[in-house]
Chains A and B, each alone.
Chain A
């Protein structure tokens, strides 16, 4: 003991209680939030990877030879996702072609840095990378959008636009399946958020591992549905994965933040609550669609102007009133799948166009980063 005590700490004698509960031979380094099991690094890697493999198998997420786009932001979730997909694809012979797909929202000091991470991942994992930008798709960068609206609604715009951007990017590559790094914490957060907002219609679908709206050419899956954020961070840390971890410049004021704080506080009291909330969400069943539509029609009669509500009511998350609409409609303007005549993105963009800064500055083209913000600020100046 004397001799060992002089050596580095982690070689010193380990109590039986501190051993890994699976292999019983190495020192445990982490405690699984799901079941409080203490595991060593090696067993943790094994369990973590195997659980995701089992989710993929159980849900039949992929077929052999399928080309999959990995929605990659450079953050921890998508970096671990890319690494895991590569590992599992090789280990279990999925036979998948993996491609990284990134969206450049145009947020200076955030996305440009995180895209650099994605570019490194491209080399590390030896996968092709495709980047689609808001600027190319919509002629707006997020910086410009925020300068024309306010920071609070930035996530609404960004979320709606990103969803389309990922689909369009995938279609450009002729890929019909996108996997994203949404984890169990995100899922639970969404359930909580929809509950707090009273948006019951969304709870049911928000917990699905795969979302495939009728008529949508691109399927989306979340292999990390049951994977805790804490374990993802630990996995990235122990595997020394290269990820980018700066909070988005506009994020702290978003509503999701509130639900996240609530969830983290709940988790610290009872770690299993995240899985429990997902479980509750999965068992949340609304009455059949027919009954709801009848109820909606009654509601509509009491509304003065149902037509305008149909098209224009936008909820804080960017969702649009779904009353009396059918799945599989197309947006009249851009042809994107939409519940209504005009899709959310087009409605949002229309509002933005009306708000474009009226002032232009000589020598600054609209391509310059932050130009809209600058001109908007100058507009308000008075001497």
Chain B
């Protein structure tokens, strides 16, 4: 079981019903593997997005929509194996939309 903090910034909170900060408890006993960001994204998409239409604001072609910045403990996930990053307790994952108004 892993507990991580998740932030939705840059207007992305609107996709998640106005939630800006949340704590996610990921428990995957059925899977023996480590819990990765990919698992977290699946979890967020299926548990926190209430409106089906909002899903495409977050997910595109099975991954995070281009234009959304993913930071793991303030580090760009491109430097951290992206979806394959193994989550640890207390990690802070922030999703920031760069698409919203300038």
Contact = CB atoms under 8 A, between A and B. Distances in A.
Chain B interface, DSSP helix/strand/loop, else mixed: loop
Contact of B78 (A31, A76, A247): A31
Interface string A75-101: 111100000000000000000000000
Given A245-B9, A245-B10, A229 B91 contact: no
A53 interface: no
The 10 closest A-B CB pairs, nearest first, are: A77-B102, A268-B66, A245-B11, A264-B67, A264-B66, A30-B76, A29-B75, A245-B10, A233-B98, A75-B102
Contacts of B100: 75, 245-247
B99 interface: yes
Interface string A173-201: 00000000111001000000000000000
Interface residues of B, number: 26
Interface in A220-254: 229-230, 232-234, 237-238, 244-248, 251
Contacts of B97: 245
A372 interface: no
A18 B101 contact: no
B46 interface: no
A9 interface: yes
Given A230-B69, A237-B74, 9 more contacts: A29-B74, A30-B75, A31-B78, A233-B69, A234-B69, A245-B100, A246-B14, A248-B101, A267-B66
A274 to B, nearest CB: 12
A238 B74 contact: yes
7 contacts: A75-B102, A76-B10, A233-B69, A234-B76, A247-B100, A264-B65, A267-B67
A64 to B, nearest CB: 29
Interface string B58-102: 000000011101010111101100000000101100101111111
Given A10-B73, A237-B71, A264 B101 contact: no
Interface in A49-78: 73, 75-78
B43 to A, nearest CB: 20
A238 B73 CA distance: 11
Interface size class of A (residues with CB under 8 A): 35 or more
B75 A246 contact: no
B14 to A, nearest CB: 7
Contacts of A268: 66
A28 interface: yes
Contact of A181 (B10, B78, B102): B102
Contacts of A78: 102
A213 interface: no
B102 A76 contact: yes
A27 interface: yes
Contacts of B9: 237, 245
A62 to B, nearest CB: 22
A376 interface: no
Contacts of B91: 9
A233 B69 CA distance: 9
A229 B97 CA distance: 10
A40 to B, nearest CB: 10
